[in-house]
Amino acid sequence: MANRLGKTLRGYLAREITVGFIGGLSLFTFILLTARIIEMVDLVLSRGVPALAVARLFALILPTFLELTTPVAGLLGVLVAFGRFAADGELIALRAAGISWRTMLRPVLLFGAAAALGTLGVAMFIRPWANRAITETVYELAKAKAAAALRPRVFNSDFGGVVIYVVSNSTETGVLDGILVADDRDEDSRTAVFAASGRVLADEPARRIRLQLHDGTTVTRHRAADSYDVTSFGSLEVGLDVARELNALSTGGPLDASDMFFGELIDAFRSGGAMRAAASLELHRKLAFSVAAFIFSLLGVPLAATASRGVRGRGLALSIAAAFLYYLLLSAGVVLSRTNGVPAGLGFWVPNAVFACATTYMISRLARDHPPLPTVPGSWRPFRRRIAPTGSA
C-alpha cells in the first residue's frame, strides 16, 4: 500500500470531492440566480408569461453562471473532502502509512482537469448556444405577447412607453381597426397617432416586432418649442418594445463576442476589424476561467491541511474568501487593461498567476511535511498559548 492509494480510498476521496463540488455548485449558482428568480416570478404572476416558457429561460441562463461558479465549487469540494480527512486524523494516518502528498494529489489533479475542461466546454459551446436560444425564446414570446396584448377597447400599456388603443382586433385576419397610439419614448417630443387600420408584423431577420398602420395622422408636440406638427400618412410603422421585461433575462442586442462559438471567435480574431479586440478579450476570459477551475481545485488541498472541527462551515468561508479575492484581482486587472494601456488579456491572467504561485508554494511546503503557511515566529508562540481557548492543545 506504500505510496499508492487503494481503490477503495480513491473511490471514497472521489465521492467526497464530488459531493462537496455539487453542493457548492448548487449553492453558489443559486446565490447568483436569486435576483433573476425574483424577475422570473414577476413575469409569471404580473406579466402573464407562461410558466413553462419562464422555466425554459431559467434553464438557458444557467450556463452563464456555471462558468463563474465552477472554479469556486471545485475549491469547496476539495477543501471539504481533505478538510474532513485532516480533522479526523486520516491525513496523519495516510502519511504514517507511507503515502506521500504527491500521491494524494493525483485524484485532485484529475478532478481539477475535469473541472477545467467542463468550464471550457460550457464557455466555448454551451453558453453561446444558450445565449442564442434565449434570444430566440424571447423573440417568440414577444410575438405571442404582442398579439395577445392588444385587447379591443382597452388602453394597452405593455409596450415600454407606448400606449395603444384599438376599437377591434380580428383574431382570424390579425387586422386592427380604429387605432390610437400614444408614443412617449422621446424625451423631447410626444406623438399621438390616429390610424384607420393596421396589423402587428414580425421582422424575422431583425428579430423585432412592428405595428404597421394605414391611412392616418400623426400629431407631434415638441416640448422645448411648445409647438405641434400634424402629418398625414398612407403607411407608417411603429416599433414595439414588447420584450422589455424578458430582455432583462437575456444578453440582448446583436450578436457579440460572448455569443460566439469557439470557431467563430477564432474567425473574428483573424479577420481583424472592430470585432478583433472583443474576440481576443473573450478568448482570454474563457481560457482564464477554465485554468482557474484547475488552480482552485489544487488550492483546496493546502487550505484543508490545517482544518479543524466545523469543516463544512470553514470550507465555505474559505471558498467565499478566495473567490472574493480572485474576482477583486480580476476586476482590478480588467480595469487596468482598459484604462492604462495594459495588454487586453493580461487582466484575466494576473489573478491566475497570483493564485497559482500561492498554491505552488503551499503544496511545496506540504511535500516537505511543513505547514502550508509559515508558522508564527518562536517569539510569538507564548502569546499564542496565552490567547488559545481553554482546553486547546
**Half-sphere exposure (CA, 13 Å, Cβ side) for 70?**
28
- Claim: this prediction has a pTM higher than 0.85: no
What range does the domain containing 173 cover? 159-241
Residues 243-264, mean pLDDT to the nearest whole number: 63
The residue among 346 and 313 whose pLDDT is bigger is 346
One domain for residues 11 and 133 = yes
One domain for residues 190 and 224 = yes
365 assigned to some structural domain: yes
One domain for residues 120 and 76 = yes
One domain for residues 43 and 124 = yes
pLDDT score of 252 more than 50: no
One domain for residues 138 and 17 = yes
Q: What is the pLDDT of residues 206-238, one digit of tens each?
A: 667 788 899 999 999 887 777 888 999 999 988
Number of structural domains, the chain?
Answer: 2
DSSP letter string, 49-89 = --HHHHHHHHHHHHHHHHHHHHHHHHHHHHHHHHHHHHHTT
Q: What is the pLDDT of residues 134-187, one digit of tens each?
A: 878 877 777 666 666 677 888 887 777 888 899 988 877 778 899 999 988 888
One domain for residues 366 and 292 = yes
Question: Which ranges of 88-201 does DSSP label H, i.e. alpha helix?
Answer: 90-96, 101-121, 127-149
One domain for residues 167 and 51 = no
Angle subtended at Cα 287 by Cα 10 and Cα 75, rounded to the nearest 5 degrees: 35
387 assigned to some structural domain: no
Contacts (Cβ under 8 Å, ≥6 apart) of 67: 119, 122, 123, 127, 286, 289
Q: Which has the closest alpha carbon to 295: 114, 122, 112?
A: 112
DSSP element (H, E) containing 25: helix 7-45
Q: What is the pLDDT of residues 267-277, one digit of tens each?
A: 888 887 767 77
CA–CA separation, 384 vs 388, rounded Å?
Answer: 6
One domain for residues 96 and 11 = yes
